């Protein structure tokens, strides 16, 4: 039931009949809070066409709607804006219409709906997932949910950065200092274990650079000739030449990391439909580079390295292959893009969820694919997001001061447990129920705090602020949902259809107006690739409901029809809260 469309049709009909003018470009808005009304029609565009004052036009249209629409109760004019007061009947009919729809607002796709691939996570296999990865994963997973809810088929994927010099650094450090140990022996998660050797490599590397500088070498020479770095480069060349011993060791260490990653994904409640590996796609990238050289799209420099010149496109020269024949990130990204298209030739879009420090990289990637003649490159989109800072400063993985994702998840659950104990409202819970609630609240706080911020903006993540039961937080919304579940236990035994012949109060109308906007919020979030729009939507709904709950009697009233309406209204608010939070990947508890 879209009242905006209905009103547009009636006004267009009026203008056609009275002025013999076909006008369909009417602007209709939600009335601003400072004015009386529910829906606002912008009169200004008609002034020039009809050559009449906005007051005269507004009065004509306003009187027509009052007399010819069962939903328009009255109107008022503020300059070129006509504010319409909508009858309670419309909102009650709307509530009746959605009362049996448990998936209101969710437009599940059919088999022929557009297909979108969403890439997220995409970690390196040389370290555990950290807070920056957490934002990436939560953002990509939520966008996948939102696109699906907007009627699109979605395929969740990632590219595992399982090869390259950074991987070789971990391997070399383990070979030199690992003493043939394993995660099983040390009792560590595999990604933690391998990550320690990546940090150790950096420590030894810096020490060797310092020694070379002390011996009289300049910094540039020292950085390129530190022995541990030369060993890592040599290992990379052996890997790309297919050295069996190196490949076997690489597979073993990567398998440790994959086991660690999967546990983190499970704890976060996310999953994937496919995995791509750079070790499989970089060769396809090299084939693309050969093709580009034949077409003179790429060129070789004297040292044998391969480049593309994009200066005419407002970019720069970009290396595609090193002089020793080894690939760079761009090589494998070209191969991965082509392989994905071959696997999903009907895709309507491919979303890369990657931090904004890679903005330039993706401009270049998309431009290269376009120059190679791949028309589907126009369907590629970089979902760029800002970095995550902590009150103590920016994360740095190579120095070993990174905020590990698993440690953060554990901390959030512990904070939730401590807060629940302080509030003292779970004394009747079993230990298993308490543990489940801690998980739900802790993860809900983390996910909501990160996703409520526009992806383009940088985040200052404060674990203590995120866990608060007051303000714009996940626990605040979860608590409101639990309150509604307690309130509406008897809804199922009541009549789920409402008498539409009574007046509702303004707070009830405001809540219903917010519910009406839920499908629009989903579509807007999908169009803008922004879960923050869903978070903002549900927070506004929760604030409205809490104000209503505090000021309105719901259960202890004698008028059964009014009681039935208020319980059904509360129940539907709860359902939309659950659906909204579900789009963010956040669970909501029935009891808190």
* Cβ neighbours of 331 (radius 10 Å): 24
Judged on CB neighbours under 10 Å (0-12, 13-18, 19+), 483 is middle
Confidence band for 391, pLDDT divided at 50, 70 and 90: confident
Confidence band for 473, pLDDT divided at 50, 70 and 90: very high
Between residues 205 and 428, which one has the greater pLDDT? 205
Instruction: Show the DSSP H helices in 99-177 as ranges.
Output: 131-149, 165-177
**Position 85 pLDDT exceeds 70:** yes
Give the tens place of pLDDT for each residue, 312-326: 999 999 999 999 888
The domains located in the chain, with CATH, are: 3-86 (3.30.1360.70), 120-394 (3.40.50.620), 405-583 (1.10.730.10)
**Position 490 pLDDT exceeds 70:** no
Rounded Cα gap, residues 589 and 591, in angstroms: 5
**DSSP character for 394?**
E
Q: Which of 15-29, 488-502, 534-548 has the highest mean pLDDT?
A: 534-548
Average pLDDT for 159-171: 93
Rounded Cα gap, residues 175 and 249, in angstroms: 9
Cβ-proximal residues to 170 (8 Å cutoff; 6+ apart), any chain? 126, 127, 194, 195, 197, 198, 201, 253
Local structure of 14: helix, strand or coil = helix
**Position 64 pLDDT exceeds 50:** yes
Give the tens place of pLDDT for each residue, 419-435: 887 776 777 888 899 89
- Entry pTM: 0.92
């Amino acid at each position: 039931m879209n009242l905006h469309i209905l009103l547009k049709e009636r006004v267009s009909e009026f203008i056609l009949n009275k002025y013999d003018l076909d006008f369909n470009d009417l602007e209709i808005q939600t009335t601003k809070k400072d004015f009386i009304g529910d829906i606002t029609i912008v009169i200004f565009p008609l002034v020039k066409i009809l050559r009449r004052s906005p007051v005269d036009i507004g009065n004509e249209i306003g009187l027509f709607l009052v007399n010819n629409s069962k939903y328009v109760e009255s109107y008022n004019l503020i300059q070129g804006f006509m504010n319409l007061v909508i009858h309670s009947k419309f909102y009650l009919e709307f509530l009746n219409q959605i009362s049996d729809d448990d998936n209101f607002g969710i437009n599940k796709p059919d088999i022929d709906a557009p297909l979108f691939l969403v890439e997220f996570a995409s970690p390196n296999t040389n370290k555990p997932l950290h807070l920056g990865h957490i934002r990436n994963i939560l953002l990509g997973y939520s966008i996948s949910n939102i696109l699906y809810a907007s009627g699109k088929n979605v395929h969740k994927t990632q590219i595992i950065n399982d090869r390259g010099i950074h991987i070789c650094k971990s391997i070399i450090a383990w070979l030199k200092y690992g003493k043939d140990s394993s995660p099983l022996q040390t009792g560590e998660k595999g990604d933690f274990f391998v990550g320690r050797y990546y940090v150790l490599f950096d420590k030894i590397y810096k020490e060797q650079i310092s020694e070379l500088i002390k011996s009289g070498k300049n910094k540039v020479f020292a950085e390129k000739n530190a022995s541990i770095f030369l060993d890592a480069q040599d290992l990379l060349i052996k890997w790309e030449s297919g050295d069996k011993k190196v490949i076997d060791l690489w597979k073993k260490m990567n398998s440790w990391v994959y086991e660690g990653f999967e546990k983190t994904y499970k704890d976060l409640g996310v999953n994937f439909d496919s995995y791509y590996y750079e070790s499989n796609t970089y060769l396809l990238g090299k084939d693309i580079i050969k093709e580009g050289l034949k077409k003179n799209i790429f060129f070789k420099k004297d040292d044998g390295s391969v480049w593309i010149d994009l200066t005419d496109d407002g970019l720069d020269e970009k290396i595609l292959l090193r002089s020793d024949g080894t690939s760079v990130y761009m090589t494998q990204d070209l191969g991965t893009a082509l392989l994905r298209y071959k696997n999903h030739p009907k895709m309507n879009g491919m979303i890369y969820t990657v931090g904004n420090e890679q903005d330039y990289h993706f401009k270049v990637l998309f431009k290269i694919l376009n120059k190679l003649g791949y028309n589907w490159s126009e369907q590629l989109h970089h979902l760029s997001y800002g970095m995550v800072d902590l009150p103590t400063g920016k994360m740095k993985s190579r120095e070993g001061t990174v905020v590990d994702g698993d440690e953060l998840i554990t901390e959030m659950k512990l904070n939730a447990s401590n807060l629940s104990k302080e509030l003292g409202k779970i004394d009747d819970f079993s230990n298993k129920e308490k543990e489940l609630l801690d998980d739900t609240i802790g993860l809900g706080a983390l996910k909501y705090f990160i996703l409520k911020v526009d992806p383009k903006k940088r985040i200052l993540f404060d674990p203590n602020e995120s866990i608060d039961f007051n303000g714009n937080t996940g626990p605040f919304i979860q608590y409101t949902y639990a309150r509604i579940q307690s309130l509406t236990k008897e809804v199922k035994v009541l009549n789920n259809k409402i008498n539409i012949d009574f007046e509702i109060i303004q707070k009830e109308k405001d809540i219903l107006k917010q519910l009406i906007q839920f499908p629009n919020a989903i579509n807007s979030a999908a169009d803008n690739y922004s879960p923050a729009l869903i978070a903002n939507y549900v927070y506004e709904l929760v604030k409205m409901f809490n104000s209503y709950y505090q000021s309105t009697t719901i259960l202890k009233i004698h008028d059964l029809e009014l009681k039935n309406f208020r319980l059904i209204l509360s129940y539907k608010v709860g359902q939309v809260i659950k659906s909204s939070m579900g789009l963010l990947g956040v669970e909501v508890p029935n009891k808190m």
